[in-house]
């Protein structure tokens, strides 16, 4: 958020200074990416001590202060639980790797090599290459779904589970209100570790990497041990979950999680099942995106609560990805916000999204992200399954570092983020795009978000209303209605750069009805201007 001590890195005091900016947006809670002690091989998703804040962000006292000040302002605090893996520098792993007969031996997943010395199976790591790393000291391989510095914990071991619960309880007792759970659907493993069937020798990431046989049992145990007693809110990261499976995680009768983050809508422009995985892109189609939302909205109706997001620290900036980050930056940022926040569920706003921050383009070596660097080595240099040009094109489009550039506060040096050298490149567009400029502009994205969020707080229909898609197959218009207690609202947006002549079906809905919110002041009867979006009370139709 901001760097309070001039070391170039955002920190907890920096967040405290900006709490008014956050709370004025109208949000109810803040999700913080992991801030625990970590060698930062994966931006804190490699934890070496669950009980201590990493000194680069401050200390535990700063965190306790943040919780207190946030609570005073009516904001809840959600921390990030990284429980599928730890850092290889965690004391558990440091012990575990020493021998097969030490108390931490079974804290991780160790397997003997195949008779020819190779890895136990052909499973791949999300960051490229095999999911197994050989450890000389133990003469065995250990499993890591992410980088080799992030060994997977062995959830089969009840002691491991209790260690995680203890850490959760520690923070709950300090006042933390809930947890975002990192890759939580990966914690239970298929312990016989069979090879995936494949026609080549490349490592595979497949269905066995998630939703393992004991997942529900573990979540239920966590619920009974920690979540229920401490009344903690949860949102689990659940790649490979479709809406049907989601119900088994979040239906209230399950007593597992409150909500999950799906990846389905984020993958609509990713070519499915290629060795290049997320880097093999295909054309974006609005109808595909709407189809995913429709599926989740209808299947979870009365059976679960949706999580709504376009951006987070793993996703690029939505205006650059599917909008127009040049001449229609304001219009497309607010159009995407409208169609997302109008849906049923809990929306998440990622820092900078509320002022329409954009993607960046850097030379390969300037990227900090372990996923980009490791996948480049593996796919471009080693396997040669994707060219340098195509890989970089995908990085510019969807690479995680697009969202990790420092927050742009104003047009002073380093966007007002730090007075020294920032830990990562500041987006060169900061003089044009920054919070100060946005707030004083007539076309303020931040104030549009404020209005959207206010609507959700003030109108039950925005919370409870049923969702019915309109013009599902249209490639330009995103439209749906919300209905509740005899009231009906239309959420409507042109998601293209073209002027769209409104279809008869929508014209009829609009006649004589009341505009609730609109991103563009001037409206031309019968047409939608580029990225024009609105919410209209159509109850009188
Ligand atoms: C998902 C997190 O959001 C991502 O940033 C991280 O690299 C992986 N999980 C591994 O923890």
Tell me the pLDDT tens digit for each residue of 415-439.
999 999 999 999 999 999 999 999 9
What are the DSSP calls for 250-298, one per residue? HSGGG-S-SEEE--GGGGTTBPTT-TTGGGSB----HHHHHHHHHHHHH
> With contact defined as beta carbons under 8 Å apart, do 323 and 329 qualify?
yes
Q: Give residue 511's pLDDT band: very low, low, confident or very high (50, 70, 90).
A: confident
Catalytic position from the list 182, 221, 314, 331: 182
How much of the chain, in percent, has pLDDT values that exceed 90? 96
Query: Beta strand pairing status for 233-237 and 178-181?
Result: parallel
Q: Do domains 12-83+178-219+234-445 and 466-537 have the same CATH topology?
A: no
Tell the residue nearest (CA) to atom 2 of ligand 1.
Answer: 182
DSSP class of residue 108? Answer: B
Cross-strand partners of 29: 76
Show the DSSP H helices in 118-229 as ranges. 158-173, 215-222
For residue 6, give Cα distances in angstroms to 3, 57, 143, 414, 418: 6, 12, 38, 12, 6
Task: Please determine, for residue 260, whether its predicted confidence score (pLDDT) is greater than 80.
Answer: yes
158-173 and 215-222 are packed helices; what angle lies between their axes, rounded to 10 degrees? 40
| Residue to substitute in 45, 147, 372 for testing ligand 1 pocket (most ligand atoms within 8 angstroms of CB) | 45
Ligand 1 pocket check for 183: Cβ under 6 Å? yes
Show the DSSP H helices in 73-202 as ranges. 91-96, 158-173
Ligand 1 pocket check for 269: Cβ under 6 Å? no
Ligand 1 centroid, distance to 262 Cα (angstroms): 14
Ligand 1 pocket check for 322: Cβ under 6 Å? no
Ligand 1 pocket check for 186: Cβ under 6 Å? no
Q: Which pLDDT tens digit goes with each residue over 299-346? A: 999 999 999 999 999 999 999 999 999 999 999 999 999 999 999 999
Q: Which pLDDT tens digit goes with each residue over 203-218? A: 999 999 999 999 999 9
* Ligand 1 atom closest to 371 (CA): 7
* Ligand 1 atom closest to 85 (CA): 11
Using CA of residue 396, residue 359, residue 330, residue 429, what is the dihedral sign?
negative
Catalytic position from the list 80, 177, 221, 237: 237
| Both structure tokens of 307 | 């999580």
Tell the residue nearest (CA) to atom 10 of ligand 1.
Answer: 45
Ligand 1 centroid, distance to 183 Cα (angstroms): 7
Q: Which pLDDT tens digit goes with each residue over 48-70? A: 999 999 999 999 999 999 999 99
pLDDT at residue number 137: 96
Closest CA to 429 of 330, 358, 354, 351: 358
Ligand 1 pocket check for 314: Cβ under 6 Å? yes
* Ligand 1 atom closest to 42 (CA): 7
Q: Give residue 200's pLDDT band: very low, low, confident or very high (50, 70, 90).
A: confident
Ligand 1 centroid, distance to 278 Cα (angstroms): 14
pLDDT at residue number 512: 80
Ligand 1 centroid, distance to 469 Cα (angstroms): 32
* Ligand 1 atom closest to 82 (CA): 11
Task: Please determine, for residue 445, whether its predicted confidence score (pLDDT) is greater than 90.
Answer: yes
In CATH, the number for domain 12-83+178-219+234-445 is 3.20.20.80
Ligand 1 centroid, distance to 34 Cα (angstroms): 10
pLDDT at residue number 157: 98
Mean pLDDT of the chain: 97
Task: Please determine, for residue 506, whether its predicted confidence score (pLDDT) is greater than 80.
Answer: yes
**Region 3-7 average pLDDT:** 96
Task: Please determine, for residue 467, whether its predicted confidence score (pLDDT) is greater than 90.
Answer: yes
Strand order in the sheet with 514-518: 466-470, 477-484, 487-494, 533-537, 514-518
Contacts of 381 (CB under 8 A, 6+ apart): none
pLDDT at residue number 525: 79
Ligand 1 pocket check for 45: Cβ under 6 Å? yes
182 is catalytic: yes
Q: Where are the domains positioned within the chain?
A: 12-83+178-219+234-445, 91-143, 466-537
In CATH, the number for domain 91-143 is 3.90.400.10
Ligand 1 centroid, distance to 137 Cα (angstroms): 28
> With contact defined as beta carbons under 8 Å apart, do 238 and 184 qualify?
yes
3 is catalytic: no
pLDDT at residue number 306: 98
Q: In the CATH hierarchy, which fold is given to the domain comprising 466-537?
A: Immunoglobulin-like (2.60.40)
Cross-strand partners of 178: 78, 233
Contacts of 199 (CB under 8 A, 6+ apart): none
Task: Please determine, for residue 279, whether its predicted confidence score (pLDDT) is greater than 70.
Answer: yes
Ligand 1 pocket check for 82: Cβ under 6 Å? yes
| Both structure tokens of 398 | 């969807």
286-300 and 243-250 are packed helices; what angle lies between their axes, rounded to 10 degrees? 40
Closest CA to 339 of 474, 494, 514, 485: 494
Task: Please determine, for residue 522, whether its predicted confidence score (pLDDT) is greater than 80.
Answer: no
Tell the residue nearest (CA) to atom 8 of ligand 1.
Answer: 45
Ligand 1 pocket check for 31: Cβ under 6 Å? no
pLDDT at residue number 521: 83
pLDDT at residue number 541: 63
Ligand 1 centroid, distance to 403 Cα (angstroms): 14
Ligand 1 centroid, distance to 371 Cα (angstroms): 9
Show the DSSP H helices in 174-251 as ranges. 215-222, 243-250
Ligand 1 centroid, distance to 426 Cα (angstroms): 22
pTM of the model: 0.97
Tell the residue nearest (CA) to atom 5 of ligand 1.
Answer: 314
pLDDT at residue number 105: 98
Ligand 1 pocket check for 309: Cβ under 6 Å? no
**Region 270-291 average pLDDT:** 96
Ligand 1 pocket check for 423: Cβ under 6 Å? no
| Both structure tokens of 323 | 């909008």
Q: Residue 51, Cβ neighbours under 10 Å: how many?
A: 12
| Residue to substitute in 314, 348, 369, 373 for testing ligand 1 pocket (most ligand atoms within 8 angstroms of CB) | 314
């Amino acid at each position: 958020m901001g760097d309070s001590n001039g070391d170039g890195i955002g920190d907890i005091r920096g967040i405290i200074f900006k709490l008014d900016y956050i709370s004025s947006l109208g949000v109810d809670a803040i999700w913080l990416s992991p801030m625990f002690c970590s060698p930062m091989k994966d931006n804190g998703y490699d934890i070496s001590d669950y009980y201590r804040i990493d000194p680069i962000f401050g200390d535990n006292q700063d965190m306790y202060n943040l919780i207190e000040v946030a609570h005073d302002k009516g904001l809840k605090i959600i921390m990030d639980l990284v429980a599928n893996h730890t850092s290889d520098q965690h004391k558990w792993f440091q012990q575990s790797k020493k021998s097969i007969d030490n108390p931490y031996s079974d804290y991780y997943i160790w397997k003997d090599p195949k008779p020819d010395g190779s890895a136990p199976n052909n499973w791949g790591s999300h960051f490229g290459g095999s999911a197994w790393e050989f450890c000389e000291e133990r003469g065995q391989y250990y499993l890591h779904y992410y980088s080799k510095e992030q060994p997977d914990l062995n959830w089969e071991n009840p002691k491991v589970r209790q260690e995680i619960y203890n850490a959760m309880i520690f923070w709950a007792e300090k006042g933390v209100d809930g947890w975002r759970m990192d890759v939580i659907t990966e914690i239970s493993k298929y312990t016989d570790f069979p090879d995936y069937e494949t026609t080549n020798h490349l490592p595979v990431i497949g269905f066995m990497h998630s939703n393992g046989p004991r997942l529900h049992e573990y979540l239920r145990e966590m619920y009974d041990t920690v979540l229920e007693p401490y009344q903690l809110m949860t949102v689990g990261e659940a790649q490979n979950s479709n809406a049907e499976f989601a119900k088994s995680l979040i239906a209230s009768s399950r007593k597992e999680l409150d909500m999950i983050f799906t990846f389905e809508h984020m993958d609509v422009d990713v070519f499915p099942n290629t060795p290049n995985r997320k880097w093999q892109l295909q054309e974006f189609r609005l109808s595909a995106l709407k189809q995913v939302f429709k599926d989740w909205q209808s299947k979870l109706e009365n059976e679960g609560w949706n999580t709504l997001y376009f951006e987070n620290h793993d996703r690029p900036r939505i205006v650059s990805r599917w909008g127009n980050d040049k001449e229609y930056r304001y219009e497309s940022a607010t159009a995407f916000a409208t169609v997302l926040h109008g849906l049923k569920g809990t929306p998440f706003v990622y820092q900078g999204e509320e002022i329409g921050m954009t993607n960046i383009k850097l030379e390969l070596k300037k990227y900090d992200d372990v996923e980009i660097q490791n996948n480049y080595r593996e796919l471009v240099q080693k396997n040669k399954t994707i060219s340098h040009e195509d890989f970089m094109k995908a990085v510019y489009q969807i690479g995680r570092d697009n969202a990790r550039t420092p927050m742009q506060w104003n047009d002073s040096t380093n966007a007002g983020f730090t007075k020294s050298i920032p830990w990562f490149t500041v987006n060169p567009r900061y003089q044009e795009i920054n919070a100060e400029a946005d707030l004083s502009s007539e076309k303020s994205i931040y104030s549009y978000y404020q209005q959207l969020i206010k609507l959700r707080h003030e109108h039950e229909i925005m919370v409870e209303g049923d969702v019915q898609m309109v013009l599902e197959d249209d490639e330009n218009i995103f439209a749906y209605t919300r209905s509740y207690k005899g009231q009906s609202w239309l959420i409507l947006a042109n998601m293209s750069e073209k002027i769209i002549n409104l279809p008869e079906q929508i014209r009829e809905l609009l006649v004589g009805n009341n505009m609730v919110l609109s991103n563009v002041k001037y409206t031309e009867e019968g047409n939608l201007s580029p990225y024009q979006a609105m919410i209209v009370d159509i109850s009188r139709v």
